[in-house]
Amino acid sequence: MANTISNLFFILLAAYGIHNARRELMPTRYIVGFGGFALIGFGSLAFHATLLYHYQLLDELPMIYVTAGSCWFLYDDSPGFDITSRQSMISLVLSITFDVLFTWSYIVYRNPVYHQVAFGTLAISTAFMIRHLLKWSEVRFRIPDEKKSQIGNIFGYGAGLFLLGFLVWNLDNIFCDGLTRFKVSIGWPLAFLFEGHAWWHVLTGLGTYYMFTGTHLISLCMKDDANKFTVRYHLGLPSIKRADKKTQ
């Protein structure tokens, strides 16, 4: 039950991201990205509630789609948010082609390690692309130092939370038998605090939100005037605001 309920937090984070992006009139690509984030949570919730194979795919495949989409955000550094430029079109077609081919191959070759390697490779590529853009690419001259620091801190904090969740998940798997006996002995609701897989959902949800926000910010700074955007925090969560737009 805890593994199912914990996905609600994941979905709420995505809904919060969609709400902020719509309120700030952000380009559609970022709203769609948060929509993919929500789909991961819905898929995971449905899978843990039913343990049906097709819902597991609805959990795992959007992880690939969202991360591949983030790579597209980072590769598409030409000014403007339409997709008519050669670079935008090529990078988008490559991202969609990868998603289609991975979906087909993963249905044919149903191996969790294959999914983990693909997802890990995309996630690491995203981190390296952000570092490259901030440190060595021509793009760095378009982004003020303050914004560079914000991007690095937000994305890095998210990556740390994600890795912490991964550690908790693995510890839960390693010590599963002992933890199960302990949880039975203390009973509910305290046992919920020791549900490692549920904490994996919470921590990776937070980590994904932070990393996607960092990716969102660097993409905006590359494709528009970086001074038009600022970062605000509410309940510890960062969100991107338009500096020239008054919001309630």
State the CATH number of the domain containing residue 132: 1.20.1070
Whether residue 84 is contained in a domain is answered as yes
- Give the CA dihedral 179, 184, 185, 187, nearest 10 degrees: 120
Whether residue 175 is contained in a domain is answered as yes
Asked if the bond preceding 62 is cis, omega within 30° of 0, the reply is: no
Whether residue 248 is contained in a domain is answered as no
Q: Say whether 48 counts as a known binding-site residue.
A: yes
* Cα–Cα distance for residue pair 183/219, rounded to 1 Å: 44
Burial class for 119, CB neighbours closer than 10 Å (0-12, 13-18, 19+) = middle
Please tell me whether residue 240 adopts helix, strand or coil conformation.
strand
Whether residue 39 is contained in a domain is answered as yes
Whether residue 35 is contained in a domain is answered as yes
What are the tens digits of pLDDT across the range 78-114?
Answer: 888 888 778 888 889 999 999 999 999 999 998 999 9
**Count of structural domains, the chain:** 1
Query: Strand ranges (DSSP E) for the chain?
Result: 229-234, 237-242
pLDDT given for residue 192 in this prediction: 81
Q: Which domain holds residue 98?
A: 1-242
pLDDT given for residue 248 in this prediction: 35
Do residues 65 and 35 lie in contact, with contact meaning Cβ atoms separated by under 8 Å? no
Whether residue 247 is contained in a domain is answered as no
Q: Say whether 54 counts as a known binding-site residue.
A: no
Which alpha helices (H) appear in 76-111, and where do they start and end?
Answer: 86-108
Q: Say whether 132 counts as a known binding-site residue.
A: no
Identify the segments of the chain with pLDDT beneath 70: 245-248
Do residues 207 and 161 lie in contact, with contact meaning Cβ atoms separated by under 8 Å? yes
- Taking CA atoms, 39 is separated from 11, 12, 35, 56, 233, in Å, by 8, 11, 6, 12, 24
